[in-house]
Amino acid sequence: MAKKITTISQYVFFLGLGVFLIWWSLKGLTDEDRLQITHALEKGRYWLIIPGIAVNILSHWLRALRWRLIIQPLGYSPTKINTFFAVMIGYLANQAVPRLGEVLRCSTLTRYEKIPLDKLVGTVILERLVDTICLFAVFILALATQPDLYQNILATFFPAKQESNSPGLLFYIGLALLAVMVVTFLWMLIAKKKFSDLVATFKKISLHIWQGFISIRTLKRRWAFVFLSISIWALYAASVYIGFLMLEETIQYGLKEALTVLCAGTLAMAATPGGIGAYAFLVQKTMTIYQLSTGLGLALGWLLWLLQVVVVVVVGGLSLIGLPLYNKNRQNLS
């Protein structure tokens, strides 16, 4: 019961955060901003949605192939189709409840490929660690190609105040750490957990991570793993760039700007269910670094977000239907 209450509370909190960010980003729009959004959307190159969808689907397919590479050293070799279906079903679940998809895609593959769930959890944790490293590499690349980017980010997200006692970056970092401690304390209080339970949880997570690292050490196709990882994030950047091309007002932006938006968008996707509210808000704020108006930045953010969500909802929904049918045919043929 306590676990259920904790899950519901987390969902309500993060969904509420997304709704708040939608309201926050819309409330500051002027009449001129709204007019710019209308004109931009009227002149949009919507035929680019087709390559945008193709790029997104391809990135998910490559992610499924990479996950399969991590699983194989454990002694299992799931089919590519089942792995892809499981990945898409996981993404679909994440649209409703953050992190639920990671569990659901593991349980889905366990059901149809008879792979122990605890082993799959370790591979997913490892995959997330690899993605974190990739995100950090993308950010470093964005900084390397844009010398003034770091100062511009600080100026945009942490504007300097005139008062000498105004909060700085360290204050916000400390505030974030305090929030994490408060949430952890509330979780322990609601779930009636002791400190020893918290330590046991961290040990369990560490064990899963270690199992994942063992699997990557025994990879027979390490370069294929590296190639797939680079390709996945290159496709993510390409998807953002295609979004730039959809609007006349953003067509002048290139891959350098796409890298920055990709970093912001990735963080937003983890902040709220499916990135709702947070994605458009962070893209809007990020594009002000490049002198794009608030209204156009918001329009771009919603376009990029909708492109990803449509792919996840449609392909994820089809995966829910196709998964049992595909495996029923496999059983009939065997």
* Domain coordinates in residue numbering, the chain: 2-324
pLDDT at 94: 86
Q: Are 209 and 125 in contact (CB under 8 A)?
A: yes
pLDDT at 318: 95
Residue 75's pLDDT band (cuts 50, 70, 90): confident
In this structure, of 75-89, 184-198, 235-249, 279-293, the range with the lowest mean pLDDT score is: 184-198
pLDDT at 44: 84
Q: What percent of the chain has pLDDT over 90?
A: 40
Whether the pLDDT of residue 154 is over 90: the answer is no
pLDDT at 101: 83
Compute CA distances 100 → 11, 105, 128, 190, 215, whole Å: 10, 9, 14, 20, 23
For the chain, the average pLDDT equals: 81
- Cβ-count burial 112-138 (b if 16+ within 10 Å, e if not): bbebeeebbbbbbbbbeebbeebbeeb
**pLDDT digits 0-9 by tens, 217-229:** 667 778 899 999 9
Whether the pLDDT of residue 128 is over 80: the answer is yes
pLDDT at 26: 62
pLDDT at 64: 96
Whether the pLDDT of residue 79 is over 80: the answer is yes
Residues with Cβ < 8 Å from 287, sequence gap 6 or more? Answer: 250, 257, 261, 296, 297, 300, 301
Residues with Cβ < 8 Å from 242, sequence gap 6 or more? Answer: 48, 51, 52, 55
Whether the pLDDT of residue 162 is over 50: the answer is no
Residue 55, exposed/middle/buried by CB under 10 A (0-12, 13-18, 19+)? buried
pLDDT at 88: 95
Helices first, then strands: H and E counts in the chain: 13, 0
What is the reported pTM?
0.80
